Structure 1
């Protein structure tokens, strides 16, 4: 996936470079027309300086477009070479302009975009070959160029290439630093997430801990002062858990805790909140359900847990007792939790393995 994204990014840049070439081709037309009009040149001048080079450059561009469409191999080198040929054509047809050799900077600038030293060296070689050929067949013959002019242009091309390589190297360093900074930020973010999760969850069961439970309950009650949605608290306790630890060991007890936790987490709704309150005790906050729905769900959970057999307990099962309390506007968090805890106590004292609803919530002054 990452390789595909990299290839797509390179293709996008190749497309942009081809578009820049097209712009260079068409931008010659108005400038050459203005030059011909201002100098009152004849038809021969227009044909030689405007029409012929324009047709040659369009032919080169169509060839590059064909390669871009049907061949991806060595496409970078084809685009660089195409830029060198365009520059050669422009210099050849504008040989009488002293600044015409500056067109050789075009492929050198293009090579920077690929961030590869080999392409800059390749471009420099093309440029040196181009200026040498142009000097011998055109510039020295028709434009009064001398050997000293050639010896002046060649060092400039080399210096520009060295600067291009420096720019490329600096750009690569910036990208590496940016990548390292990004990776460091991501690493810190992951560590913060992990630390935040560790501070909010129980290591054994991966449920929220009792501190997070109370923080969430406080916020939920504060948001629900007007009693716009239902809130229920269920407190659950594994029956005879001390006997499990004493008889089968703490490893067996941990297996039971993990299994019960997984069942609770998988059976409650997405908007419900499950926490390990401490030891073998769990607490659940139910929202957007009425008392009958919560009771039925808790009974299904209680029955499912009672049917589970544990190899660690030699095929035995465990049961849970549950106390349930409903939040009413004006009730404090302490009273709400006390109601569920009182119901749990009743369930324990009246036979265990049952769910008891707290029907007489404590009243307190506002």
Structure 2
């Protein structure tokens, strides 16, 4: 039986156990004084039941405190052994007190905190050794059943604690697995499987939220719509696997080029959309031109060493424009780029022009 649940708070719990033993020492002094005050002289009380046992107990505690500061790795065993010496001292100097032998159970109870069978058995052996040294055979035979019963109860408590902690650990792991699965499922529902960009639905959700922020807080946003030129010809000539390679490459260029506060999505088919936030039109135009140039310089083995080009339309949001007009402005600029030679970036200017 072994469990590591104790380890993260090991130093903190060892400190608490030392506090318990210090409390035992402090309580024992007045208890002994008032008990023996009735039966012995003041001088005898002071020497045999106050000064000497207190000195020994303080020395034992000093040893455990030194171990606490020097070695946390072996401190568990110092606490178990030191606790056994401490209870041995109390029983030895209070031999005539009927309930004194019960102190021998304290190290066993303390060992439960470690949830480790080896340390529990060490405390049992030390307690049994204390009884063997302190009592004659008849008293020892009378004490062993009590010690045995207490040991079984303590062992059962520890075993039950281990089971609870194991169940808690299993439940925690299950919750973590479910959380990871939920995160993965959430990501899959929001992203395009091929390009790993956000999908069409997520794009519109995000666009609506940013427009709301722009209307209420004057957030500056731009929308760029990008389309791969002659993509149908790529699929018809080289196949859909070649088309997928192009889509994956273009999406990778987008992801590397846009900022952390920008939003890139695969809008559908060979069309992409990027929402830019808090950037000037000139700055965004430069980013889009770098993207366009990079795409035009990328060669594909699947296309017999050829490259593809993209056309881009860009529109800045104006207050009161609304989502439809905003997207329409970017889309109309893309249409202009397509109609005027492709492989270019066109910035939208008001008013919207009819394209039919």
TM-score, structure 1 normalization: 0.88
Measure the CA separation in 2 of the matches of 1:303 and 1:261.
14
Measure the CA separation in 1 of the matches of 2:186 and 2:73.
49
* Paired positions, count: 351
Match of 1:52 in 2: 52
- 1:300-343 alpha-carbon deviations (Å, 9 max, x no partner): 21112212222322322111100111211111211111111111
Residue 206 of structure 2 aligns to a residue in which SS?
Answer: helix
Match of 1:87 in 2: 87
- 1:103-135 alpha-carbon deviations (Å, 9 max, x no partner): 111111111111122332332222222122211
- Of 145, 154, 170, the residue aligned with 1:180 is 170
Match of 1:204 in 2: 194
Measure the CA separation in 1 of the matches of 2:217 and 2:18.
65
- 1:238-260 alpha-carbon deviations (Å, 9 max, x no partner): 11112222222222221211111
Say whether 1:318 aligns with 2:308.
yes
* CA 353–318 in structure 1, closer or farther in 2 if over 3 Å, else same: same
TM-score, structure 2 normalization: 0.91
Residue 318 of structure 1 aligns to a residue in which SS?
Answer: coil
Q: Tell me which stretches of 4 or more aligned residues in structure 1 moved more than 6 Å.
A: 3-6
Match of 1:245 in 2: 235
Aligned CA-pair RMSD: 2.4
- Of 190, 210, 214, the residue aligned with 1:224 is 214
Say whether 1:159 aligns with 2:149.
yes
* CA 109–69 in structure 1, closer or farther in 2 if over 3 Å, else same: same
Measure the CA separation in 2 of the matches of 1:225 and 1:76.
63
- Is the 2:37–2:45 Cα contact (8 Å) retained in structure 1? no
* CA 200–124 in structure 1, closer or farther in 2 if over 3 Å, else same: same
Match of 1:235 in 2: 225
Say whether 1:119 aligns with 2:119.
yes
Query: Which segments of 5 or more consecutive residues in structure 2 lack a partner in the other structure?
Result: none
Deviation at 1:37, TM superposition (A): 5.4
Write out aligned runs for 1:210-359 (5 A): 210-226=200-216, 228-359=218-349
